[in-house]
Amino acid sequence: MVSYCPICGKPVYFGEKKRSLGRDYHPLCLKCQLCKRQLTAGQHAEHNEQPYCTLCYMKTYGPRANRPTVQPHRT
């Protein structure tokens, strides 16, 4: 069975796939969408179905990052 890489949209064949967080990626596609660092399957973060390294994820979406949509109150 062929699955499709969520990054490039092309089919990922058995033998070349990197399975991580329930999706199959091409080895070259499984990289951080911000710093382009290659990621290890199962050891990275994910946001909007895009893989990120944990560093970029924490910087961008972590608890200390600015999230304009989630700001009930400004003091």
The set of residues, in sequence order, having a beta carbon less than 8 Å from that of 35 and lying 6+ positions away, is 53, 55, 56
By C-alpha distance, which of 3, 6, 32 is closest to 16?
3
Q: Is 35 in the site for Zn ion (CB under 5 A)?
A: yes
Smallest separation, CB 69 to Zn ion (Å): 22
Q: Is 5 in the site for Zn ion (CB under 5 A)?
A: yes
Which CB atom, from 35 or from 67, has the smaller least distance to Zn ion? 35
Which CB atom, from 27 or from 67, has the smaller least distance to Zn ion? 27
Q: What is the DSSP string of 45-65?
A: EEETTEEE-HHHHHHHHSTTS
Q: Is 39 in the site for Zn ion (CB under 5 A)?
A: no
Q: By CB under 5 A, name the binding residues for Zn ion.
A: 5, 7-8, 26, 29, 32, 34-35, 53, 56
